[in-house]
Amino acid sequence: MATLRLGDIAPDFEAETTLGKIHFHEWLGDSWGVLFSHPADFTPVCTTELGMAANYYPEFVKRNAKIIALSVDGLDSHLKWIKDINETQNTTVNFPIIADEDKHVANLYDMLHPNASDKFTVRSVFIIGSDKKIKLMLTYPASTGRNFDEILRVIDSLQLTANYSVATPANWKDGEEVVIAPSISDQDIPAKFPKGFRAIKYYLRMTPQPNK
CB atoms within 10 A of CB 190: 11
Active-site residue identified among 46, 122, 166, 179: 46
Distance CA 14, CA 36 (A): 16
CB atoms within 10 A of CB 68: 24
Order of strands across the sheet that contains 134-140 = 20-23, 14-17, 97-99, 65-71, 32-38, 123-128, 134-140
Which string of DSSP letters, residue by residue, matches 75-123?
HHHHHHHHHHHHHHHTS---S-EEE-TT-HHHHHTT-EETTTEEEEEPE
HSE-CB at 163 with a 13 A cutoff on CA atoms is 11
Q: What letter would DSSP give residue 181?
A: P
Task: Work out whether strand 65-71 and strand 97-99 pair parallel, antiparallel, or are unpaired.
Answer: parallel
* Distance, C-alpha 205 to centroid of its chain: 28
Instruction: Indicate if 46 belongs to the active site.
Output: yes
What residues act catalytically? 46
